[in-house]
A and B are shown apart, each in its own frame.
Chain A
Amino acid sequence: MLDITDLTVRYGKLTALDEVTISVAEGEAVFVVGPNGAGKSTLLKTLAGLLRPAAGQVAFQGRPINGGAPERLCRGGLALVPEGRHIFRTLTVQENLAVGMMIRRDKAAAKADLDRVMDLFPILRDRFGGIAGNLSGGEQQQLAIARALLQRPRLLMIDEPSLGLAPLVIDQVYASLKALNADGLTLLVVEQSTARVLDLATRVHVLRGGRVVLSDTAAALATGDAMEEAYFGYAGQADA
């Protein structure tokens, strides 16, 4: 579904992503984990069209999408829930969801999807007319995911869904993501914390200093310390 090949992104002279190659197949839940500054958010921003790659290719469903405008890419089926959620704080929950639905032409189906996401996140039904800025962090994360789901994306990209949330709320968010993935939605998630990754991931890539230092299936990584070693750079030191 998504093929990233030798993707390089630079901020001036700083190379944030260095020849990153990652593939996401339909129905997968692919996680990219890594420490601060590894280039995780840069990766998702580039895929969503907010940053232009310096080199490399990105193909979505077989078509190159390098450097496409965000509003065009989202119409093609790519949705991003960015780090920090970025809900529209001064708009109501209803208005936030309405902006999420704006690209939908099938209004009846969009309305049905609205009912579905509110079944998935019941708190949004309770807070429908309320100002989004008054929601708690967990509720805002649910709103951000719901808003992205209303775009009916083929690939949902989420930047650090657990950031700044209480453990119980993280459980709820991950349970929702698991349900969505079980329903067939393809996920590409980046996380700094590796704690919950293997609960949901089908495949994991570890990013360090802008390079992919480990790629494997979640099943293979479930045993042993390979993910932690790659994350903290022990493997690299051992090799050196």
Chain B
Amino acid sequence: MRNFLQVMIDAVALGSLLALVALAIGLVFGVMRLINFAQGDYITIGAYALVVPTASLTPALLIGALPVALMVAGIMLVVVLLALATERAAFRPLRDSDPATLLISSFAVSYFLQHLVMLIHTGRPKSVGIGQALTTPIDIMGLRVPGIQVVTMAVTAALLIALVLFLKRTPLGIQMRAAAENFQMARLLGVPANRVIAVAFVISGVLGAVVSLLLVVQTGTLSIRMGLMPVIFAFFATVIGGMGSLAGAALGGFLVGVASVLLQSYLPEGLRPFRDAFVFGLVIVILLVRPKGLIVIGAARERV
């Protein structure tokens, strides 16, 4: 039982992380029909902004050397500005294009950013020591839980609550939900397209920055593809949650994270290297049963 609870804490912590990435992807998809694979590179660049650009494998800290509050604010600023820059330069000119064009554009932005990081920091993985105190396990009712997992779950809960309050209680949040459901109608009612999309990118930047910090503290390493796997998992999470549904994206993130950890723990040892195949197999099964995802926007039947 204790082992199961330990595994569940790992599962919820990973699920929380993926839920944040999935929300970022879901929010931008909602208002723009863009599946932004560059979200992974926002995460990567947020992480690299912690250190001084150098070829060294153990670089000195840059923004990471600041006090915690300033460091968090600094990384958020970097990633938000990056997200806004990509929106303005690469995605806004293509806003009226079909989703396939937008998707290709996001791949191009992703590769561009990856190679930009490689140019500045080299492609070799680096080690970075930030928030090491958080990796020390805390004793919670007999369970040994790394502090970073508690922080990950708490931060995710706080961000989810803040996001829900923003989307439900503020005029801008209501406009964003309206735009996410029917962008053209929202524009007809005066919702400014540029502002709504920019806010979606700002939020995706904030979420990306938070994920950057959590990943760096968890792993203690930087690599140019560190954002790739979270984004792929989160993309599947948004698909099984129901594209366009923010609640679905968060739920999908938790489900994929939990499934991933449970499979890692309970699959026979010989099959564990193929864990991802099982996770994605599960995604296929869910989509076969519910092709539009778990939470379908506008599912209510048309009435007369």
Footprint of B on A, CB under 8 Å?
48, 50, 69-71, 74-75, 79-80, 82, 86, 88-91, 95-96, 98-100, 102-103, 131, 133-138, 140, 147-148, 151, 164-166
Contacts and interface: CB of A to CB of B under 8 A. Distances in A.
B171 A140 contact: no
A137 B193 contact: no
Contacts of B174: 91, 95, 98-99
B264 to A, nearest CB: 35
Contacts of A69: 187, 193
Given A71-B192, A74-B190, A82-B185, A133 B178 contact: no
A82 B188 contact: yes
B69 interface: no
A89 B303 CA distance: 12
Among the interface residues A50, A74, A99, A147, which one has the most CB atoms of the partner chain B within 10 A?
A99
A138 B178 CA distance: 21
B300 interface: yes
The 5 closest A-B CB pairs, nearest first, are A133-B300, A103-B190, A137-B304, A70-B187, A86-B185
A88 B171 CA distance: 15
Interface string B248-285: 00000000000000000000000000000000000000
B182 interface: yes
A50 B188 CA distance: 8
Nearest to B181: A88
A88 B185 contact: yes
Among the interface residues B171, B178, B190, B304, which one has the most CB atoms of the partner chain A within 10 A?
B190
B184 A88 contact: no
A89 B192 contact: no
B33 interface: no
Given A91-B174, A99-B175, A140 B303 contact: yes
A100 B298 contact: no
Contacts of B181: 88-91
A90 B175 contact: no
A131 B177 CA distance: 13
Contact of A166 (B182, B192, B304): B304
B189 A99 contact: yes
Nearest to B192: A71
Contacts of B303: 135-137, 140
Given A69-B187, A71-B192, A138-B304, 14 more contacts: A50-B184, A70-B187, A74-B189, A74-B190, A88-B177, A88-B181, A89-B298, A90-B181, A90-B298, A99-B178, A99-B189, A99-B191, A131-B300, A166-B304
Among the interface residues A70, A131, A134, A164, which one has the most CB atoms of the partner chain B within 10 A?
A70
A91 B184 CA distance: 16
B304 A88 contact: no
B171 A98 contact: yes
Given A50-B188, A98-B174, A102-B189, A165 B304 contact: yes
A134 B188 contact: no
A96 to B, nearest CB: 8
A161 B298 CA distance: 21
A133 B286 CA distance: 25
Contact of B178 (A48, A71, A88, A148): A88
B297 interface: yes
Contacts of B188: 48, 50, 70-71, 74, 79-80, 82
A104 to B, nearest CB: 9
B186 interface: yes
A85 B31 CA distance: 20
Interface in B182-233: 182, 184-193
Nearest to A100: B189
B302 interface: yes
Contacts of A88: 177-178, 181-182, 185-186
Nearest to A138: B304
A102 B190 CA distance: 7
Nearest to B247: A90
A32 B193 CA distance: 30
A103 B187 contact: no
B91 to A, nearest CB: 18
B184 A71 contact: no
Contacts of B189: 74, 99-100, 102-103, 147-148, 151
Nearest to B168: A95
A165 B302 CA distance: 11
Contacts of A140: 303
Nearest to B185: A86
A14 B299 CA distance: 34
Nearest to B173: A95
A133 to B, nearest CB: 4
Given A95-B178, A98-B171, A136 B190 contact: no
Nearest to B193: A71
Nearest to B245: A90
A55 to B, nearest CB: 21
A172 to B, nearest CB: 13
